Chain A
């Protein structure tokens, strides 16, 4: 076993310290060391988006970030999208638009879509499709996902 290093980061607004091996990805650290299993591994090489988190305001595939790289940085994961008991408009729109079937890609899509709406509060369908092209869904054909993101973007809350 290689030596574990101590890492400090801010995750969903909370300062967090944890230990991880240098070979562990951020995704592995979140899931295996911190018990935050909302981000999923679909491909392990940055081609499906199921592991998406927001790192210092930028959307990243956490499977190809080393845990050691997030020292001192700000992270938002799917666990931090809702405000307490209050769902984010994207989460509500995904439910109302039936934008999930199996649900395994859903956390990645919601995190990715949040990163979009944070930058572009009122995207066009084309902008939504371009932004989400790094997230694979095999169940829905994307139709209802794109509609859910557009619907959430009409909510004023999404832009808060």
Chain B
């Protein structure tokens, strides 16, 4: 459902419609080629040996027996990589130190988590490669693991990296620590403001690591040619990021690395950092043959993703008339085995939905013996929103104010200063909360015992970054659009629609193709909710380029000046002579007989991303005897700016909500005391099934982004921000217990409501 603040349908012909996506046919027939579907002549299959221990020195690796197994062509370890400098490399969503990246891909002298890659094999079949792994003999010297963020921060805790010092306000500490960095944010004077607050609430929250849970496991097929040119076929959110990571890790010129992005079976931020391609590269280099690596689900859960577990202490204060005036927060996020948790984003987004003048927030990035975290949909924000929206809910309750009304009267709006110092441009927060207040769902009675309704808000920055594309006009008036962004959820459609809108032609006249890194200009990751925003903007610029070229061509045909020709609704016409006009297709048919082919080009790096808000309402029922929570009804409100393809915006909202519901209720990394991960399967890592979710109503409350030609805001990430607190607040109203430790699994509900340990 679209609630419009502008009459978009009158304004646009293509934008706001729901055409069938260009890649849809291949995906419903099984023809679409995903990363694991690659098969090359002479191809070998790789497999990776992983650590059974959470923390240990590697004393010795004996690969001789594995290498002797018939069919095995190569065995490699970290020693086979070239040395790299300890430089930071940006991944678009987050950054990584090259040395850490190399140590994560194959452990060097220590294994730092259960599942850490130790050695790899290439063989003539995947089964033989797996058999060979059992013949690799690794001698470990076990170390005590540290698994919880608070334990890892304590003096005397086992240290993961002897050379890691705490970076604090730009300076490094002088003793080894698991705290990689300390961030500090201040707005106004929180200490003073708390003194003026009538109600102050301080609470502690904990969450566990959770995984992105994409259905397609990581994969990569690498061919290292005799002349040191590498080709990599894989599923990735960032083909150019992979190219750059590989060039840096392998010390090759960038143009020696070509990445062919295959269709990708989900990513949610987890398919940006490389895991398999460097291993495939050295295996291919050693064997002279292409090598394919595909993870199984256990490897995916043990060694890729997840996002941080966390500890948060948050204090908030309000006046008795219901004004939020002060916040003090301490956020500690698990980075996994190497620094790089999204704690900064957690700090900076936490108070985004509110106009709150005084806040002090401290963030800690902490290494623990668990897999190195990766971006996960609005990285860092769901965790801090869980804390903030729980405390806000409690404040509203203590003040006797309706929870949505309380959010409305404190809502951030255009001009509100954020914790990171900037002020908001026009945003849709207020309009969205008002829509929720007026909604059928919020006003429907919720009857019956053990039921409760919860609400929560959420904010995400969105990202811009770089996009490049080009488009050729064909003789029949169709347009071939070349782009470089992996299409995870319908961006071929949303980019093509913006080009079609700009050109005034039907969406079906634009055929988009995603190409490899040698075939189009640089494109940053498919992440940060940026593709429909930034690549859509590039499509607009590309369309404007084509319009100029088309006008110039018509002017030449008519022997007019370029200024005498205009482009209106897909028609190129002389300004002063109504008889002189071409439709787009007519002029397209004359391009090659009147001059050079017409190709539009654009590369952009837009900054004016807007910012996105989401507000969710959930009705739940709790079985008091078993502790099980069932979601009865769920509505997601969001400001998408302008919804280019509303069906795929709804899809993002529904998908984000369902991941958040899983996070709230059952998903968690469950570790044994020795640091081994106990639930590395889809059986025991409990993502929601069809029976765990109701229909999810998606309501788009459009406040177009003035910083985009078509008003687009990113939509993909923010819908995962509110659900954790939405569910927790609903469960509170059903049970009378505030859950501040996720997930709210049946076991935990029984513990909190009945004292069953």
Contacts and interface: CB of A to CB of B under 8 A. Distances in A.
A and B touch in the complex (CB under 8 A): yes
Interface of A: 1, 21, 23-24, 31-32, 35-45, 47-48, 50, 77-79, 81-82, 87, 91, 94-98, 100-107, 110, 128-130, 132-147
B67 to A, nearest CB: 17
B266 A129 contact: no
B112 interface: no
Contacts of A106: 27-28
Interface in B195-251: 212-217
A42 B651 contact: no
Given A42-B217, A98-B490, A78 B265 contact: no
B70 A102 contact: no
Contacts of B29: 38, 78-79, 81-82, 87, 91
A99 to B, nearest CB: 9
Nearest to B658: A141
B608 interface: no
B655 A43 contact: no
Given A41-B296, A102-B214, A136-B682, 6 more contacts: A38-B31, A91-B28, A95-B20, A106-B27, A136-B687, A141-B688
Contacts of B655: 101, 138-141
A110 B602 CA distance: 38
Contact of A39 (B21, B30, B648, B652): B30
A98 B648 CA distance: 7
B21 A35 contact: no
B683 A47 contact: yes
Interface stretch (B33-41, B395-403, B583-591): B33-41
9 contacts: A1-B125, A40-B36, A43-B682, A45-B681, A94-B28, A105-B265, A107-B30, A136-B689, A141-B657
Contacts of A42: 215-217, 265, 297, 682
Contact of B39 (A35, A38, A105, A138): A35
Nearest to A126: B691
B647 interface: yes
B33 to A, nearest CB: 7
Interface string B288-317: 000000101100000000000000000000
B693 interface: yes
Contacts of B752: none
Given A47-B681, A91-B29, A101 B488 contact: yes
A87 B20 CA distance: 14
Given A40-B34, A95-B21, A1 B124 contact: yes
Interface residues of B, number: 64
Nearest to B27: A103
Contacts of B124: 1
B263 interface: yes
A136 B28 contact: no
B651 A139 contact: yes
A135 B265 CA distance: 14
A141 B693 contact: yes
Nearest to A138: B213
A129 B215 contact: no
The 9 closest A-B CB pairs, nearest first, are A38-B30, A104-B265, A141-B658, A103-B27, A78-B30, A98-B647, A141-B654, A101-B489, A47-B682
Nearest to A96: B20
Interface in B617-667: 645, 647-648, 650-652, 654-655, 657-659
B8 interface: no
B741 interface: no
B695 interface: yes
Contact of B651 (A134, A136, A144, A146): A144
A45 B683 CA distance: 9
Nearest to A21: B127
Nearest to A24: B127
Contacts of A139: 266, 488-489, 651, 655
Contacts of B37: 31, 37
Contacts of B691: 129-130, 133
Contacts of A79: 29-30
B32 interface: yes
A56 B485 CA distance: 41
A105 B21 CA distance: 17
Interface in B126-151: 127-128
Given A32-B39, A98-B21, A139-B651, A104 B297 contact: no
Contacts of B488: 101-102, 139
A30 B176 CA distance: 53
B651 A87 contact: no
Given A101-B655, A140-B651, A77 B215 contact: no
B570 interface: no
A110 B216 CA distance: 17
Contacts, number: 181
B25 interface: yes
Give the residue among A40, A77, A79, A87 with the most B Cβ atoms within 10 A: A40
Contacts of B690: 128-130, 132-133, 135, 142, 145-146
B695 A138 contact: no
Interface in B448-502: 488-490
Interface in B556-597: none
B264 interface: yes
Contact of A1 (B71, B265, B268): B71
Interface in B660-683: 681-683
Contacts of A136: 215, 682, 687, 689
Contacts of B30: 36-39, 77-79, 107
Contacts of B214: 102, 104, 138
A121 B16 CA distance: 33
Contacts of B83: none
Interface string B1-36: 000000000000000001011011101111111101
Nearest to A48: B682
B71 A98 contact: no
A2 B507 CA distance: 53
Contacts of A37: 30, 33-34, 36-37
Contacts of B215: 40, 42, 48, 50, 102, 104-105, 136-138
Contacts of B652: 101
A39 B650 CA distance: 27
A129 B215 CA distance: 19
Given A45-B297, A102-B266, A136-B215, A143 B654 contact: yes
Contacts of A87: 25, 28-29
Contact of A103 (B39, B263, B650): B263
Nearest to A78: B30
A50 to B, nearest CB: 6
Given A40-B265, A138-B655, A139-B655, A133 B39 contact: no
A101 B24 CA distance: 9
Contacts of A102: 214-216, 263-267, 488-489
Nearest to B301: A43
A126 to B, nearest CB: 9
A13 to B, nearest CB: 16
B599 interface: no
B265 A98 contact: no
Given A91-B28, A95-B25, A101 B33 contact: no
A148 to B, nearest CB: 10
Nearest to B656: A141
A45 B267 CA distance: 21
Contacts of A107: 28, 30
B32 to A, nearest CB: 6
